[in-house]
Chain A
């Protein structure tokens, strides 16, 4: 027993020396800025990266104009919840002036750490799908939500398909284990039902299942379009390219309406009316500026009676891929082309 205590002491010493060594090499001076902001991003994903980028760019601009300097500490948890907690704790230990977070799990971890620390460090979140249900609203938090108005999306679908009145079928393709796309699906189904359109859910838990889904959808003549949500699994470039290829080379190509503008540009989807995440990030930066420089309490900032920005029409981009639509033998109505932010 005595020997093991001695052993334990030696081991502790070695570990202490090793970590001290890392600490010494990692020493940096971060105190020359007016504001230091910790960015806790859950994973590398276009929407999340754009939100962070939009936030960083806009806040730097605002701070420059006001004559302040700002420093960003960027950390990405790589989809690991334990790392998200470590990052939040480290930011608090470094006494950052504010924490920015994107991705539900990282936002929750950041808020939990900040709340436990007394709620003195403000937290701003960006592009959250449901801030209320995810327990994100506290006196020290504010942010933006990427929830979009589904009624407008349904009207757009109807115009795209070219059936002015009466019912038709739309397939909603999504990852059934992602919270926001499930919620988005519910809203889409309700909004479509009000307009007489039937939306059926086609959930997958693996990218590989998309093949059977697309084949089944194309094989059923009732379907006139495919709608894909703000999906982290199907939204990756590789997965979406696969969806586009399967659809274009299938027995009956259908117009795909995506929630990501980039998929239209890449030629995988015909149309998208989606939040511009750079814009949402920039809006989050404006909230952050009001808190840091304006001295406002985050929880008191209310827009339209809500404690967070809900993605407004100004933050939505309508992107159309005319070439792809024409290769399917479809014509896009001129009114839509006029209203589009960009046409390929």
Chain B
């Protein structure tokens, strides 16, 4: 008995008997050599892949910033950036553009005040590199004229179809996910939409109405959105329909969080599954002599 236990224990440790562990270590060394090469190759290729991004300040500004900012065209979702380089401390500005989430979390007074001023829409972290931040600041210092929101051609959208696109009932032409995977909005029903991204009930107004929302849907400027949508953008017609739906939803009340209902359903599901298992296997010891079962319980 004791011998059995000892054996089982040593076999459990690394699945091998004590005498054989040295083999495992020699193996590990051989594996390590191969791995070093693989790792070196991978880091190299990934760095090349990442370095392919970037660009000059103007292009970056057009791609990443114009959904929310103008230069001399007035406030949009965020402030007008004309003369921002003169208004703000350079170090603060670089830090803010690079990591706005961290600056806000640290309770920076300027950031906190701007957040309140701009409908509590926080500036997203755009995961810009140091070089990209300085390229944007160089451009902001000397933009060479006013830059207003890029004019996105807008058609008249169909809110009902926008809703179908939002929930997934109509699939998006380029294969993008239904908005509901990550976002909730008023009027979706009991369990609502997703909670990975923000609730979009009032997004139409906070993101600057037709023009702001149109630019956002066209450029998908935030990091999370951009990763998902870069290769499967919304078509112009889909953008119109979704914009119309967002506008329609913005007058309704925000839906309640479904967190407690879901927790209750999870508990119920677990009990059901385990109950079913118990019923299905309840006679599992029925074919065994009772005395044997009793003895095994010691």
A binds B: no
